[in-house]
Amino acid sequence: MQNHPKFTMWVLYSTSCLLDAFDGYAARKLDQSTTFGAVLDMVTDRCSTCSLIVFLTRLYPNWFILWQMLISLDLASHYLHMYATITSGSKSHKSMKKDTNILLKLYYENRIVLFLVCALNELFYMALYLDYYKFRALPLVGISFPRFLIYVSAPIWFFNRIP
């Protein structure tokens, strides 16, 4: 990761994220969704995001406590949501009751919103990673492309921490 930041993020990590999105879509379309598959998908998603956050602790050691808290929040919130869904007898962790928080309902029930929020959340971490390597500034905006991506994705990343 340290020696090949562009290849690591633009090819490996982004391809992994896109294949993850396609995998879920294909499972639903082919009616091959299972509880085990949903749990496995969530666990592998958390592992990849946490691995990237752990590497960010190396790049930005002054923010170590924040990175630890984000990993804990990410793991705990996803675990609790999945556990509550499974124990309530729901067929999917993306099925919300009528009295559910409107933001949480929008997030899980609108596939476009879910995809965009998840994509921009991952993009935020990817951009932080790439920003460390000091890319050249873009001509019109005077900041690097990774820094631009941080500014674009940060509001959605923050929104994703609220519900």
Catalytic (active-site) positions: 45
DSSP string of 79-134, one letter each residue = HHHHHHHHHTT-S-TT---TTS-HHHHHHHH-HHHHHHHHHHHHHHHHHHHHHTT-
Residue for token pair 């099925």: 95
Tokens of 90: 């729901």
Q: Distance (Å, rounded) from C-alpha 37 to C-alpha 15?
A: 20
